[in-house]
Amino acid sequence: MNILTKAFAALAISTSAALAAGGAGEVTDFDFPFEGPFGTYDQNQLQRGLKVYTEVCSACHGLQYVAFRDLAADHGLGYSREQATAYAELYEIFDPSLNGGEGDFRAASYPDKFPANNAVGAPDLSLMAKARAGFSGPYNLGINQIVQGMGGPEYIASLLTGYTGEEKEEAGTVLYENLAFPGGWISMAPVLYGDDVEFDDGAPTDMEAIATDVAAFLMWTAEPKLAARKQMGIVAIIMLAVLSVLLYLTNKRIWAPVKARRTTPAE
């Protein structure tokens, strides 16, 4: 009883705090191909998302925990090693071994990771899709994530498309109204307007399409082996089901003679 009382008290405190902060925001339930127990990444969508990140997001945000070689891995975006290497060379990274140990910048190579971007103090996006998963639900409880499968990608796409166009200034900082952001106002200016990039596959370039593409890519950066993990989980469930049936049949066979003796009338 004591534990239950404390749990309800903590829930009430967190709910009150969320309400005081302006709520958790309005998160839209977008349909991503990797959702569900059998969902997998759409490599074409991931490639489009990488292009959106490169041309729009990378100006302020880094991906310091993602390696360029992951783009060509089995769980990657479907690129060859040559394509991943060519893409890596678009970036410069700081190498402390150059210039006599004093360090210098060089073109990134296949084994390197995306460089960090701390120019404007913007957060790194490598794990953003996992870090923001808890926001999808009333008062940050994550109910929608459990019931509807809504998580970080929905939050990211909702944030990118949630600007209303209203602005205000507080303490010398311009804030922008965003329906998905907790509290309703965010310091990041709108970054997508529709037709921000062009795709070779002729995919739609409206704001929602671009937002969902980059959100799917950021989900991949946070969980690149999502499909393999799901497959392993399904195999484990099947094995446990088979094992349960075998244990049940074994138990029946072992105890059958004992039950038979108990039901036989004494002479």
Q: What are the pLDDT digits (tens) for 114-173?
A: 999 987 889 999 999 888 776 445 545 555 555 555 678 999 999 999 999 999 999 989
In contact, 14 and 134? CB cutoff 8 Å:
no
Query: Could you tell me the end-to-end alpha-carbon distance of the chain, in angstroms, rounded to an integer?
Result: 55
* Sequential DSSP letters for 210-240: HHHHHHHHHHHHH-TTHHHHHHHHHHHHHHH
Does residue 20 carry a pLDDT above 60?
A: no
- CA-based nearest residue to 109, from 58, 74, 72: 72
CA 24 to chain CA mean position, Å: 18
- The rounded distance, in Å, linking the Cα atoms of 111 and 22 is 44
The residue behind tokens 């038979």 is 260
- CA-based nearest residue to 27, from 158, 162, 183, 131: 158
Structure tokens at 173: 């900082």
pLDDT for res 54: 96
**Per mean pLDDT, which range of 63-67, 124-128, 130-134, 196-200 is the poorest?**
130-134
Average pLDDT across the chain, whole number: 84
Higher pLDDT, 71 or 143: 71
pLDDT for res 244: 94
- For the chain, which residues make up each domain, given as ranges? 225-267
At 93, is the secondary structure helix, strand, or coil? strand
